[in-house]
Structure 1
Amino acid sequence: MKLSVVIPAYNEEESITPTLRSLYQTLSKYGIPHEICVTNDNSKDGTLRVLTELAATEIPTLVPFTNPGPNGFGYAVRYGLERFTGDCVAVFMADMSDDPEDLVRYYEKMMETGSDAVFGSRWEKGGKVVDYPPLKKFINRVANFIVRMVMGIRYNDTTNAFKLYKRETIEGIKPFLSPHFNLTVELPLKAIVRGYTYEVVPNSWTNRKYGESKLKIKEMGSRYFFILMYCLIEKYFSQGDFRKKTASTPTSTVSR
């Protein structure tokens, strides 16, 4: 099963090289057939130059894209999700915050269970965070608690972008609505609401060493709320029109 990794990159000139080297070396070590799709989101620094050089000299599985616009985290991820060629696809961050070894565990769990998606959790036993800003952690836990209560789910790390989906799952949760970081909530919630199975694997998160986070918390509250309400309405009022169809049953069950 070929793995695609979609990475959005905006002004990541300093972070992108160590991230891609580590990712490529890890996936190659485990013999995982893959492609690394990096969407340069119209960066103003040397990100595109670095990507072009790495693809030509070091990382043969690197496929660089440039998103001419509109720009934003969600648009950049969506650009990659429309163009990957693998059987499954992971969203991975350019800033070294995600661990490639965790991605291998996601992939192996999907191969083992046949689940439609594999979600990471930094907050379950075995997960960890390194240098997580206290205010950001507080907001994260409150936001995820609200998502759990509103949607009636047990999963506790919905806002984490780092997840793995089968191609069929990505096709089944289209069309995408979110242009910004709220896409991180839209993808898993739609998958859950529409009846796609998922497993949860503990994962780690490490704060970026270079540059600054593109997430602006004050700007995102209403956007997260919009997507949450959209998914809630679909869950209770769509009459199952968008749910995954199977040969034996009208919907699948959540695997936990």
Structure 2
Amino acid sequence: MKLSVVIPAYNEEESLPDTLRTLYQTLSTYGIDHEICVTNDNSKDNTLQVLQQLSLEIPTLVYFTNTGPNGFGYAVRYGLERFTGDCVAVFMADMSDDPEDLVKYYQKMQEGDYDAVFGTRWGKGGKVVDYPAVKKYINRVANFIVRILMGIKYNDTTNAFKLYKRETIEGIKPFLSPHFNLTIELPLKAIVRGYTFAVVPNSWTNRKYGESKLKIKEMGSRYFFILLYCLIEKYFSRGDYRKKVTAVRQPVEAGN
């Protein structure tokens, strides 16, 4: 099963070398057939030049430039329209996500034939390093609201780092979110539409270089819009968008 890793990158010239080299080395060590797909989201620094140089040493690296419209959601969606693998993970350019966790996701998907694998930083075995206190408070409140309104037990919906089968990605289209609200649109649609998923613990480490692109003040209403959309689909779509399950035909015994 070929793994694609979609990485949105806006002004990440400092972070990308460590992230991509470590990711490639880890996946290669485990013998995982893969491609690393980076979307340069019309960066203003030397991100494109860094990608050009890294492509000479990382044979599985492919990169695109999204000239516009731009934004985190648009950059991820750009990659999700172009990956070639059987499954795809969204992974951060700043190395906040651990490649070893991605291997766990991939192995879990294979073991249970799940349609998606989600991580949780807040359950047993999960870990966060240097997580800003204010951001943590907002994160936990937001995830609590999502859990209550959607009636789910999963407690880390807002983290983008998740793995989906190709069929799952196709089944949760079309995408609506242009910004960070895509992080909740993908898993909530997968859950509402009946795709199977497993949850495994994962870690998160604050970035070493640059600054976070998430502007919390700008995102509240956008997250709420997507949450409301998924809530409406769950209770009023009458299953029109749910995963189609093909019935298994039972063999007929001779003489019947």
When the two structures are superposed, what TM-score results if normalisation uses the length of structure 2? 0.96
CA distance in 2, matches of 1:248, 1:205: 40
Residue 33 of structure 2: aligned partner:
33
Shift, 1:247, TM fit = 1.2
Deviation at 1:42, TM superposition (A): 0.2
Give 1:189 shift: 0.1
Cα offset for 1:248? 2.6
The alignment partner of 1:201 has SS state of: strand
1:124 and 2:118 aligned:
no
Alpha-carbon offset, residue 122 of structure 1: 0.2
Post-superposition Cα deviations, 1:4-44, rounded to whole Å, max 9, x if no partner, equal: 00000000000011000000000000000000000000000
Q: Distance in 1 between matches of 2:224 and 2:216?
A: 13
Counterpart in the other structure of 2:252: none
Equivalent residue number for residue 51 of structure 2 = 51
Report the Cα distance in structure 1 between the residues aligned to 2:201 and 2:123, rounded to whole angstroms. Answer: 6
Q: For the residues of structure 1 that align with 2:190 and 2:244, how far apart are their CA atoms?
A: 13
Deviation of 1:240 after TM superposition, in Å, equals: 0.3
Match of 2:19 in 1: 19
Cα separation, 2, equivalents of 1:248 and 1:130: 46
Aligned pairs, how many? 248
Query: Distance in 2 between the 1:137 and 1:31 partners?
Result: 35
The CA deviation string for residues 34-55 of structure 1, in whole angstroms up to 9 with x for no partner, is 0000000000000000001110
| 1:197 alignment partner AA | T
The percentage of counterpart residues that share the same residue type is 85
Residue identity opposite 1:155 in structure 2: Y
- 1:236 aligned residue: 235
Name the SS for the 1:25 alignment partner. helix
Structure 1: runs of 5 or more not aligned: 250-256
Question: Who is 1:98 aligned against?
Answer: 97
Partner of 2:165: 166
Gaps of 5+ in 2: 249-256
Task: List 4+ stretches of structure 1 deviating above 6 A.
Answer: none
**Could you tell me the TM-score, scaled by structure 1's length?**
0.96
SS in 2 for 1:37: strand
> What corresponds to 2:3 in structure 1?
3
Alignment of 1:148-187 (within 5 A): 148-187=147-186
Deviation track 1:43-102 (CA, whole Å, cap 9, x = no partner) reads 00000000011102x100000100010000000000000000000000000001000000
Q: Which has the larger radius of gyration?
A: 2
